Amino acid sequence: MTEYDNLKMLPLWTDQFPRPKDLPVGELPEKADVVIVGSGYTGLNAALALAEAGASVVVVEQNVIGWGASSRNGSMLTSGLKAKSKIIKKRYGAALADHFWRWSVDAIGYVGETVRKNKIDCDYKNVGNLYLASKASHAENVKAHGEYLNKEFGYATTRWIPKEEIHSEIGSDEFHGGLLDTTACRLQPAKYVFGLARAAAQKGAVLVENARVTGISGKRGGLKVTTEKGQISAKEVLMATGGYTTNLVPKVRWGIFPVGSYIIATEPLPDDLRRSLSPNDRVFYDSNIFLNYFTMTAEGRFMLGGRANLSPNLDLRKSAAILHGRMLQIFPQLKGIPLTHSWSGKLGISFDQMPHVGLANGVHYAYGYSGHGVSIASYLGNEVGAMMAGSGARSKYMDIKHPRTIFSSLDPLYLPFVSAYFKLLDKMS
């Protein structure tokens, strides 16, 4: 018997806010203009855009609405993509680098506007984030990142906090400075995804649960989608399955692989302890490749997540022990505070760490947020939905190369080696 045996092995978010019993789900119709596979942030925002443009749209989900990463994530909306801005500029040129950066910032604003417009009560709050230098050797690069954003994109919302002033932002001696970005926001993921589902249904989208897709056949304009609840005809199909993408459409699966992200949460903290850990109620992430991210929840719990292991199948007691050790390393003052929840979800990682939009075998896909999914998935879903409806411009993410390999689905074989390599890089940095 260990201290981790009594944890709730389920996401805090849906434990706090279960799927509403009155969520407007329906039965599978015979046909639709568009069938969307996956009911997370991508699929539901695409459904909103399509329904608002007058298209008939059906969202099919293999489990219940929002079951995947959209109700399991770290709750944070931060600027930027997973790929570094300097790398993006080197790959695609200054114009696209500028577009992708500004797009990532607009994505945060899009979520805020969507929440307001649809009256979604999801604890949405502008809190700002601190990008923390985990080692002294990281500090200069973290600081330079803010300077680069200001020089390259005119992004002036960051400020370097040196190590000697870090206690104004975080009650820890673990870090060597941090880059404050006041743009970042936080929300309650389950409340947000269920709010999106309700809004999409009110616009006319049909939401169908427990309808795992077993086959897609035909060509664009005349597709057949076979599910465990029957078959539906559609002009277009959008795969919005992120880290849960399977070989249903092989060429879609070739561009992405799943990585496990693990999270733990404590019981609600006393107000004085909460304020001492995070005086300004920020969201945080560190500069390691195997990074950790952490924040307070709206009710004052401390939540910490990260890549305890790249595998999406790590035992949740084992992951809790790993993350708890890191939590106490950062905040020794949390010793003795009970953990209550341990859970995980699958991130969809693209091989270039960029979001991707495209067509494969006549099926649309949108994925590859690589850990930035709350805002990026939402905005890209809206962009793809509008594009498919003919009311929006072509996504720039269609104009970049999408690296892919037929061996992508062999992730259980190669992820342990990738994991060991990343851990070595962190030790050497």
Query: What pLDDT is recorded for position 54?
Result: 97
Which stretches of 154-284 are DSSP H helices? 189-202, 250-253, 271-277
Residue 120 backbone dihedrals phi, psi, to 5 degrees: -90, 115
Classify 12-128+183-428 by CATH class.
Answer: alpha beta
Q: How far apart, in whole angstroms, are the C-alpha atoms of residue 326 and residue 264? A: 11
DSSP sequence for 47-63: HHHHHHTT--EEEE-SS
- Is the per-residue pLDDT at 76 higher than 70? yes
pLDDT band per the 50, 70, 90 thresholds, residue 158: very high
In the numeric block, which tokens belong to residue 96? 């696209």
pLDDT in tens, 105-127: 999 999 999 999 999 999 999 99
pLDDT band per the 50, 70, 90 thresholds, residue 409: confident
In the numeric block, which tokens belong to residue 264? 């733990």
Residue 232 backbone dihedrals phi, psi, to 5 degrees: -135, 140
Q: Please report, for residues 118, 133, 227, 275, 290, the alpha-carbon distance to residue 429 in angstroms, rounded to integers and kept in the order given.
A: 45, 11, 48, 32, 12
Rg (CA), the chain: 21
Query: What pLDDT is recorded for position 308?
Result: 61
pLDDT in tens, 27-46: 999 999 999 999 999 999 99
Query: What pLDDT is recorded for position 1?
Result: 61
Query: What pLDDT is recorded for position 428?
Result: 75
Q: What region does 52 belong to: left with phi over 0, alpha with psi -120 to 50, or beta?
A: alpha
- Is the per-residue pLDDT at 184 higher than 90? yes
Percent of the chain clearing pLDDT 90 (strictly above)? 90
pLDDT in tens, 297-347: 999 999 999 976 688 888 999 999 999 999 999 999 999 999 999 999 999
Q: Please report, for residues 11, 20, 125, 179, 376, the alpha-carbon distance to residue 111 in angstroms, rounded to integers and kept in the order given.
A: 22, 21, 11, 23, 9
Domain spans of the chain?
A: 12-128+183-428
Q: How far apart, in whole angstroms, are the C-alpha atoms of residue 189 and residue 266? A: 17
pLDDT in tens, 358-405: 999 999 999 999 989 999 999 999 999 999 999 999 999 999 999 999
Q: How far apart, in whole angstroms, are the C-alpha atoms of residue 253 and residue 414? A: 16
Q: Is the pTM of this model over 0.85?
A: yes
Helix (H) or strand (E) holding 219: strand 213-219
pLDDT band per the 50, 70, 90 thresholds, residue 412: confident
Q: What is the pLDDT of the chain when averaged over all its residues?
A: 95
Angle at 312 between CA 307 and CA 318, to 5 degrees: 65
